[in-house]
Structure 1
Amino acid sequence: MSAANVSRSRLLSSFPVDLGWRNVSFALRIGIAGVAALAIAYQLEMQDPQWAILTVYLLAQPTAGGALAKSAYRVVGTVGGAFAGLLILKLYAEAAVPLVGCVALWFGGCFYAGARLRNYASYGFMLSGYTALLVALEGATDPMNAWSIAADRTGEIIIGIACATAATVLVMPRYAGVVLREQMARLVSELAHYGATALRPGTSLAAFAALRRQMVEAIVSFDALRSYTVFEAPEMRADDVLLRRAVREFLRVLAVARGLYMRIGDFRVEGAGPVLAQMQPAMEATAATLDRIAANPNAFADLHAVRRELLAARAGLGAGAQRLEAMAGTVPFEPLADGLLILRRSGDLLHGLSMVMVSEAASVRARRPTSVRRPQHTLPASARVEAVLIGLRAVLAIVLASLFWAATEWTYGFNALTGVGLMLFFSVNQDRPGKLGLPVMIWTVLALVISYAAMVLVLPRIEGFEALALFLVLLLLPGGLMAGTPQLMWPGVMLAGFIGAQLGTGNVFRPDDIAFFNSNLAFVLGMATCLGFLALVPVTSTATRTAFWRKVIGRLLPEAARGVRHERRILGQVLDMLAELLPRLSLDRTPDEDFLRGALGAASTALELGRLNRLRRDPDLPPEVAALLTTFLARFAGMLESLPQAGEARAGRLAEAEAEVRSARAVLAGLALRPGEPGAALTVRAGASLRFISDRFDIDRAFLTRSLAEE
């Protein structure tokens, strides 16, 4: 990386807010939409017009598809939750215990559904639970006006939804389909850079790991953006099945590049001079090809040309592999097998990039419906149990908060309860709720401080709505800029949204310092208490990850070893399951990093086991090597199958499996190969696959022993 790039990277990391013209436009647009929503709520004399401006920021999305998706689910969730709250209130307005019980059960049921679903479908269900909580418990304090409370709250939210959606869709719209194409092109460029980095032995492990983390975050973002396209016009829709396949191909490239990097870094130079001489031209040409693709911002403008480049590079790698195979019996076996593995994995890397191109051409650019069969995704039982636990935890939190409110008869107990409910949003499908919840709370407190200062120092000096509108747009601009920056979205939403909601923008300006302080102190205390509760009652994806590990190690890899299914289908299944878990991983934590590395390594292991299984059936393979591979694959499959049930003996079983691989490698290395014979080349291929599998015991030991689950 050049000095200029390093300086630019440090500058961006020290000031992470996006100040590009698109984001500035987004921040101004959403600020004006918030002011417009406030004006409409004023005109209709809504009870709490500030809810309209808060809703605008809660819906802040830079793309039309994202805004439409969130708006649709928010409308359904709000209306459904309001009716549920009114129904509960009608049935139990005079009975506190059944009232709170029904509200808590509805809330927990919605959070259970939110944990089972993804993206804005999840959001809609959770919002339904939160709205029912607000309507039922706020209405219980004044049952005679409960309908008015529900109607006003729903109306204010719908006004905010309408203004936010109109601003995003009608004013300089940015379509998710367009952004999807741009992001896919950027991902391909970044993947090419990632692949080129993997081919360079001088890259440090820390730099390579940081680059992989960035790639994972980009893939998660791409997968979320993919879901928004279904809410746009038909000509902008992408084929969801093929785009899911693109996510799989992205992960495949990550898996291949990671294993390739580790093998190149450990390549034994001693005695490998002739091998290196044959490898280097193809490797340098491949790295140069990837560099050109990474540096070309218009690579997607001519996919055929890029694929031709990749095909030519693969042909060069294939020719290099043939030259290495021709050296069998004339150079030491180990460096020859290592070199062949490197060239073959480099070819897999290029193949993965080509398949990304195929997915792009078949999906985002397609206009005719495809007949691709949609895969059936079924959640493991552990994921369903986790969703149940998330729902029960939400029920418990609401019940405990309500009991405290009732026992203390706290005037501002409802405000604390709303803080608890809001913080529970950030606990669904999050192994570390505090990672997002704590910054959200901090920025909410900052918003309250700013709004109070503005309410005391500025609002009394403002006359007329026009002056108020101008002041609000300027005051909300920093929060809007943060909301448009992906890594700062939620802090920005809370900053701008709560400034607008707490600024004293009611129909009549009546500042009440004591009420402002007490109500917001209760709200923040509710958030803080909920964070502590979530830390004491954790619900994590550990069980789901364990189920993933058991299925991959105990079933899928043995199937690859036995040749039950083609190895690429097994690899795809592993990557599909991993894609579901990616949003849960915090790659700044060693256990999560180990899990990702091990999962990617397991996916690549399936590829090599399948190759060995097909290789043993090759008629040109020497009989003694075929017998060796047949015995090895059967024994290795059985050893893998026994690992999930091994318990405390797992380390011993794993050592036996490692010894089995090393023994097979040693036997192959000790064979006398006859130069020029097909069997010699095939034996070296077998040695290359066994080398890759052997590496996994050193590199992915934490994953294989599942020791990362206990950390």
Structure 2
Amino acid sequence: MSVAEVAGEARRLAFPVDLGWRNVVFSVRTALAAIVALAIAFWFELSDPQWATLTVYLLAQPTVGAAVAKGAWRTVGTVFGGLTGLVLVAWFSQAAELLVAATVLVVGASFYAGARLRNYASYGTLLAGYTALLVSYEGSSDPLNAWSIAADRVLEILIGIACVTAASTIVMPRYAGDALRAALSRTFTSLATYAATAFRLATPPAAFAAMRRRMIAEVVSFDALRSYAVFEAPEMRVDAWALRRTVREFLVVLSVARGLYVRLDDFREAGSQMVLERIRPTLDAAAGRLERIAADPSSWSDRRRLRRHLLDQRLALRDAERKIEDMAGSVPVNALANGLLILRRSGDVLHELSMVVVAESASLRRAPSAPTGQPVRPRPDPGDRKEALLIALRAMTALSLLSAFWLATAWNMGFTAVSGGSIMLFFAVNQDNPQAGARAFLIWSAVGILVAYAVMIFVFPYLEGYGSLALVLMLVLIPAGLMAGTPSRAWAGIALGGFTISQIGTANVFVPNELALVNSAAALLLGMVGCLAVLTVFPVTSRVRRGQSWARTIGVHLPTVARGHAMPRQAADRIVSMLASLLPRLALDRQSDDDFLTGTLGAASAALELGRLRDAAADPAMPMEAARTLERFLDRFAGSLERLALGRDRQSAIAEAEAIVADARAAFAGLTLAPGTPATRAVLRAAASLRFIADRFIRDRAYLERSFAGN
């Protein structure tokens, strides 16, 4: 890491808020949207104008696509939830227990659906349940005016949605499509640097692992940006699958480069030094080319030239493969196989980087009417349904407890406690560890309430007119917006800005009421703490889905490829697709999560190598005895993987599979090879694939030994 990078990292740690000009624009734009929303709510004389401003901060997003996507789904959820709440009031307003039960069921259904969906579709579904809760509980207190209560609440939220969307679109807009292109270029450049590091073997293992974690975080960020960029342009909606394909290509590059780094670091067979001396210049040349690509800002803009450079380097690797094959007879087969495997995997890295370029060209430049390929979609995951059901049950439990407390105590602020607690439940959807984000939101909500109290008591009495009020609010909201625009502080900034302005007492007629603010704050925080406690004692994680992914990978995808019943690339795509859906849930500082990530990516690569072995067995150049060895190996290995997936005696199944691979490798090592013949090339390439599969029992043993469905 350079001195500048170290200094930059130190600044980020000392003051972890983005003060770049884009974030300043975002902060000012969001504050203006909140103030305009408040003014419109005042003009309509709505009952709770602060809901309009709170909505602005809950929707605040740095790009147009994100704001439009989130706003569109929130609009649908709000309107549908408001109507549902009115139905509940009409049916059960005279029976409090039935109203609570029906509302809890509606919220549970929304959380179940939200957990099955992703991104802003999930958010809109959750908002439908939350709005139904607000309207039904508030409306039940005054059934005759329930329509008015619902209309006010929905209109306040719609005003906030309209203002933040208009501000994002009009005031120095930043389009998600542009951000996506920039992120794609940046991620590609980072991946090229990462691959060059793997080729050169000049980075300590700990630093390389840290680089890999940063790259994974960057890929996750790109995937999130991709998910809402499709709201901006028809061609992006048409090619959404091609963009998802880019994410999978990124993951494959990460996997292959990591495996290559480990392989070069542990190349110790007899004769390995001779092989390394032969392949090192080629690898150094490839690393140098990747470093030049990463250092040249214009390289991404000329994608045809970029692909040509990558192709030239792949051709150089193939020349090196032929030179390794010519060493047959003078160097042991295992050393030659490992050298070939290193060159082949290096070529795979360059190929996948080329595929990123191809996917970018296809997804961002194809006309909307152009046909698209059919995506490879994973089959429905029973674990996904089970997890969603548990998330719904947890939400229903928390809401039932808060509602029962309200009914039992008849507390006039009980509704505030329920609504505050329900907000915390949003952190528990599609998150394995919701406590961290929920705690930060709770703390900064409390800070926002304290700021609101100070402003209401010490500043508001001296204000005259809406202009002075707007100025004060700007001074309060801009710091919150800077935090909201910083990814690591986003929820803290949303809580600070949202709850400062919602608790500050911005009613149509200002009447300072310290006791009301204290009671409201106590209820809000009590509800949040109660829901946080439920989240802690009732954890719901993606372990079942990971277990399903593991079992399907080991027991279905790899065996079907080994038996020739599935295309290797299709199986690998399915494996990586299952991983991509779980990627945001992984905490890579946890060993089991890192094992799952690396093992799944290794299994996807193993599917390709098994396919190569099937092709090798059918190659006319392959000696007959070697072909028979491969046929027996593939059939026996498929059976051992199926037994491993059953999990009855995992250690024995792993030992059996490992022995099957060792037997096949020993048979190939004993063959007599003549340099430069087609038979020698076929044998060495098959031996390289066998070597890769054998390495999985060392590199990814932790992945093989656990099903990931339990702790």
TM range (shorter): over 0.9
Q: How does 1:69-468 map to 2 (within 5 A)?
A: 69-234=69-234, 239-268=239-268, 271-375=271-375, 376-468=377-469
Q: Tell which deviates more after alignment, 392-401 or 374-383.
A: 374-383
- Answer yes or no: is the 8 Å Cα contact 2:414–2:523 preserved in 1: yes
Tell me how far apart the structure 1 counterparts of residues 305 and 232 of structure 2 sit (CA, whole Å): 30
Amino acid in the other structure paired with 2:32 = I
Q: How far did 1:603 drift?
A: 0.6
Instruction: Read off the aligned partner of 1:101 and give its amino acid letter.
Output: A
Gap change, CA 1:7 and 1:696, over 3 Å in 2 = farther
Q: How far is the alpha carbon of 1:680 from its aligned partner?
A: 2.2
Instruction: Specify whether residues 669 and 10 from structure 1 end up closer, same or farther in structure 2 by C-alpha distance, changes over 3 A only.
Output: farther
State yes or no: 1:584 paired with 2:569: no
Partner of 1:697: 697
Distance 1:182 1:237, change over 3 A: farther
Which deviates the most, 122-131 or 369-378? Answer: 369-378
Aligned residues: 710
After the TM superposition, which residues 497-512 of structure 1 pair with which residues of structure 2 at under 5 Å, given as runs? 497-512=498-513
Return the offset for 1:50: 1.0
2:621 matches 1:620: yes
**What's the TM-score once normalised by structure 1's chain length?**
0.97
Q: Is the partner of 1:231 in helix, strand or coil?
A: coil
Instruction: Go from structure 1 to structure 2 and tell me whether the alpha carbon gap of 1:288 and 1:13 turns closer, same or farther (over 3 Å shift).
Output: farther
- The Cα shift of 1:709 comes to 4.2
8 Å contact kept, 1:591–1:709? no
1:344 is displaced (CA, Å) by 0.5
CA distance in 2, matches of 1:49, 1:228: 29
- In 1, distance between residues paired with 2:38 and 2:608? 58
Q: CA deviation at 1:623?
A: 2.3
Look up the equivalent residue of 1:141 and give its one-letter code: S
Q: How far, CA to CA, are the matches of 1:445 and 1:205 in structure 2?
A: 43
Contact persistence 1:229–1:238 (CA under 8 A): no
- Report the residue type matching 1:278 in the other structure: R
Letter in 2 for 1:371: P
Report what 1:41 is aligned to: 41
Secondary structure, in 3 states, of the residue corresponding to 2:592? helix
Q: Could you tell me how far 1:71 is from its partner in structure 2?
A: 1.0
SS state of the match for residue 607, structure 2?
A: helix
Provide Cα deviations, 1:495-538, integer angstroms capped at 9, x if missing partner: 11111111222222222222212211221121111111112222
CA distance in 2, matches of 1:233, 1:612: 43
Match of 1:527 in 2: 528
Shift of 1:270: 6.0
Does structure 2 conserve the Cα–Cα contact (< 8 Å) formed by 1:255 and 1:603? no
User: 2:65, 2:175 within 8 Å by CA — same for their partners in 1?
Assistant: yes
SS at match of 1:16: coil
Residue 486 of structure 1 deviates from its aligned partner by: 2.1
Task: Report deviation, 1:70.
Answer: 0.9
Shift of 1:235: 6.3
CA-to-aligned-CA distance 1:53-85 (integer Å, 9 cap, x gap): 111111101111111111111111111111111
SS state of the match for residue 230, structure 2?
helix
218-227 or 335-344: bigger deviation: 218-227
Q: C-alpha separation between the residues in 1 aligned to 2:245 and 2:205?
A: 29
In structure 1, distance between residues paired with 2:273 and 2:122:
57
Tell me by how many angstroms 1:559 deviates: 1.5
Question: SS in structure 2 opposite 1:199?
Answer: helix
Query: 2:544 touches 2:709 (CA, 8 Å); kept in 1?
Result: no
Moved more, 182-191 or 227-236: 227-236
Letter in 2 for 1:666: A
Letter in 2 for 1:500: I
Against the structure 1 CA distance between its residues 273 and 591, is the aligned structure 2 distance closer, same or farther, given a 3 Å change threshold? closer
Alpha-carbon distance change, 283 to 684 in structure 1, aligned in 2, over 3 angstroms: same
Partner of 1:665: 665
Secondary structure of the residue that 1:411 maps to in structure 2?
A: coil
* CA displacement at 1:289 relative to structure 2: 1.3
Q: How does 1:606-685 map to 2 (within 5 A)?
A: 606-647=607-648, 649-685=649-685
The answer to whether the aligner puts 1:22 opposite 2:22 as a matched pair is yes
- 286-295 vs 122-131, greater mean Cα deviation: 286-295
C-alpha displacement at 1:708, in angstroms?
A: 4.6
CA deviations over 1:293-331 (Å, ceiling 9, x no partner): 222223221000110110011011111111111111111
Match for residue 555 of structure 1? 556
Cα distance in 2, alignment partners of residues 606 and 505 from structure 1? 61
Q: 5+ unaligned residues in a row in structure 2: which ranges?
A: none
Deviates more, 1:155-164 or 1:269-278: 269-278
Cα contact 1:108–1:392 (8 A) shared by 2: yes
Q: Distance in 2 between matches of 1:265 and 1:709?
A: 32
Residues 594 and 708 in structure 1, CA contact (< 8 A), matched pair in contact too: no
Q: Cα 1:564–1:235, aligned 2, differ >3 Å: closer, same or farther?
A: closer
Q: Following the alignment from structure 1 to structure 2, what is the Cα–Cα distance between the partners of residues 387 and 567?
A: 31
Q: Structure 2 CA distance, aligned partners of 1:374 and 1:60?
A: 34
Change (3 A) 1:125 1:368: closer
Mapped to 1, the partners of 2:200 and 2:14 lie a distance apart of 29
Deviation for aligned residue 1:141: 2.1
Counterparts of 2:269 and 2:330, CA distance in 1? 17
How far the C-alpha of 1:678 sits from its partner, in A, is 2.5
Q: How far apart in 1 are the matches of 2:291 and 2:9?
A: 19
**Partner amino acid, structure 2, of 1:3:** V
Aligned to 2:605: 604
CA offset at residue 238 of structure 1? 5.8
TM-score by length of 2: 0.97
Task: Give the Cα separation in 2 of the matches to 1:13 and 1:238.
Answer: 41
Partner SS for 2:302: helix
Alignment partners' CA distance in 2, 1:153 and 1:212: 46
SS in 2 for 1:226: helix
1:473 aligns with 2:474: yes
CA–CA distance in structure 1, aligned partners of residues 373 and 304 of structure 2: 26
SS of 1:330's equivalent in the other structure is coil
Per the TM alignment, residue 604 of structure 1 is displaced from its structure 2 partner at its CA by 0.8
CA distance in 2, matches of 1:513, 1:200: 66
Cα deviation for residue 658 of structure 1 reads: 1.3
CA drift of 1:695 comes to 1.5
- The equivalences for 1:528-543 within 5 A come to 528-543=529-544
Counterparts of 1:697 and 1:10, CA distance in 2: 40
Using the alignment, how far apart are the partners of 1:706 and 1:631 within structure 2? 27
Q: Which amino acid aligns with 2:398?
A: A
Separation in 2, partners of 1:97, 1:297: 64
Q: Distance in 2 between matches of 1:638 and 1:665?
A: 18
Moved over 4 A (4+): 235-238
Check conservation: 1:612, 1:629, Cα contact below 8 A.
yes
In structure 2, the CA distance between the partners of 1:164 and 1:109, relative to structure 1 (3 Å rule), is same
Return 383-392 or 70-79, whichever deviates more.
383-392
State whether residues 86 and 136 of structure 1, in contact with CA within 8 Å, keep that contact through their aligned partners in structure 2: yes
| Amino acid aligned to 1:2 | S
1:101 Cα deviation (Å)?
1.0
Pairwise CA distance, 1:613: 1.4
Secondary structure of the corresponding residue to residue 653 of structure 2? helix
* Identity fraction in percent: 54
Displacement after TM superposition at 1:463 (Å)? 2.4
Contact 1:433–1:534 (8 Å) recurs in 2: yes
- Distance in 1 of aligned mates of 2:502 and 2:238: 37
- Residue segments in structure 1 that go unaligned for 5+ positions in a row: none
Amino acid of the structure 2 residue aligned with 1:434:
Q
